[in-house]
Amino acid sequence: LEECVKNKIIVVPGVFFDCNPRSVRHLDRSQCMPNVRFSYGPTFDNLMTGMHNLKVMIAKFRESPMRASAYITREISKEL
Protein backbone atom coordinates (compact mmCIF):
# COMPACT_ATOMS: atom_id res chain seq x y z
CA LEU A 1 0.00 0.00 0.00
CA GLU A 2 2.89 2.38 0.70
CA GLU A 3 4.11 2.00 -2.88
CA CYS A 4 0.62 2.85 -4.12
CA VAL A 5 0.66 6.08 -2.15
CA LYS A 6 4.13 6.93 -3.48
CA ASN A 7 2.74 6.48 -7.00
CA LYS A 8 -0.40 8.52 -6.28
CA ILE A 9 -2.73 5.53 -6.30
CA ILE A 10 -5.34 5.44 -3.56
CA VAL A 11 -6.63 1.98 -2.64
CA VAL A 12 -8.29 0.41 0.38
CA PRO A 13 -7.02 -2.86 1.86
CA GLY A 14 -9.36 -5.66 0.78
CA VAL A 15 -9.71 -6.98 4.31
CA PHE A 16 -12.01 -4.03 5.07
CA PHE A 17 -14.48 -5.47 2.56
CA ASP A 18 -14.44 -9.00 3.94
CA CYS A 19 -17.88 -10.24 4.91
CA ASN A 20 -17.32 -11.59 8.40
CA PRO A 21 -20.49 -11.14 10.41
CA ARG A 22 -20.10 -11.50 14.15
CA SER A 23 -16.29 -11.88 13.67
CA VAL A 24 -16.64 -15.64 13.24
CA ARG A 25 -13.27 -15.86 11.49
CA HIS A 26 -9.99 -14.28 12.64
CA LEU A 27 -8.69 -11.47 10.40
CA ASP A 28 -5.48 -13.40 9.64
CA ARG A 29 -7.59 -16.00 7.85
CA SER A 30 -9.37 -13.50 5.62
CA GLN A 31 -9.26 -14.43 1.94
CA CYS A 32 -9.32 -10.69 1.16
CA MET A 33 -6.03 -9.92 2.95
CA PRO A 34 -3.80 -9.81 -0.18
CA ASN A 35 -6.31 -7.75 -2.20
CA VAL A 36 -6.97 -4.05 -2.58
CA ARG A 37 -10.14 -2.26 -3.62
CA PHE A 38 -10.55 0.74 -5.88
CA SER A 39 -13.09 3.52 -5.48
CA TYR A 40 -15.09 4.24 -8.59
CA GLY A 41 -16.40 7.52 -7.22
CA PRO A 42 -13.75 9.86 -8.70
CA THR A 43 -14.06 11.34 -12.15
CA PHE A 44 -13.19 9.17 -15.13
CA ASP A 45 -10.04 11.22 -15.79
CA ASN A 46 -8.82 10.56 -12.23
CA LEU A 47 -9.54 6.84 -12.62
CA MET A 48 -7.57 6.76 -15.88
CA THR A 49 -4.65 8.56 -14.23
CA GLY A 50 -4.71 6.09 -11.32
CA MET A 51 -4.80 3.10 -13.68
CA HIS A 52 -1.88 4.54 -15.66
CA ASN A 53 0.11 5.05 -12.45
CA LEU A 54 -0.72 1.47 -11.40
CA LYS A 55 0.51 0.15 -14.74
CA VAL A 56 3.79 2.08 -14.38
CA MET A 57 4.25 0.85 -10.79
CA ILE A 58 3.67 -2.80 -11.76
CA ALA A 59 6.08 -2.51 -14.71
CA LYS A 60 8.74 -1.09 -12.38
CA PHE A 61 8.44 -4.06 -10.02
CA ARG A 62 8.44 -6.56 -12.89
CA GLU A 63 11.72 -5.12 -14.13
CA SER A 64 13.38 -5.54 -10.76
CA PRO A 65 11.31 -7.85 -8.56
CA MET A 66 11.94 -7.56 -4.85
CA ARG A 67 10.88 -9.82 -2.03
CA ALA A 68 8.73 -8.17 0.60
CA SER A 69 11.40 -8.67 3.27
CA ALA A 70 13.99 -6.84 1.13
CA TYR A 71 11.52 -4.01 0.50
CA ILE A 72 10.79 -3.61 4.20
CA THR A 73 14.50 -3.63 5.06
CA ARG A 74 15.17 -0.95 2.42
CA GLU A 75 12.34 1.26 3.68
CA ILE A 76 13.44 0.97 7.30
CA SER A 77 17.04 1.86 6.43
CA LYS A 78 15.78 5.01 4.66
CA GLU A 79 14.10 6.10 7.89
CA LEU A 80 17.27 5.65 9.93
Residue 32 DSSP SS3: coil
Closest alpha carbon to 19 in 28, 32, 36: 32
> 36-37 and 12-13: which strand pairing?
antiparallel
**pTM > 0.95: yes or no:** no
Considering the chain, what is the average pLDDT of its residues?
78
Instruction: Round to whole Å and give the CA distance between 51 and 45.
Output: 10
**pLDDT tens digits, one per residue of 29-66:** 777 777 888 777 889 999 899 999 999 988 988 887 76
28 vs 52 pLDDT, higher one: 52
Confidence of residue 25 (pLDDT cuts 50, 70, 90): low
Per DSSP, which regions of the chain are E strands? 12-13, 36-37
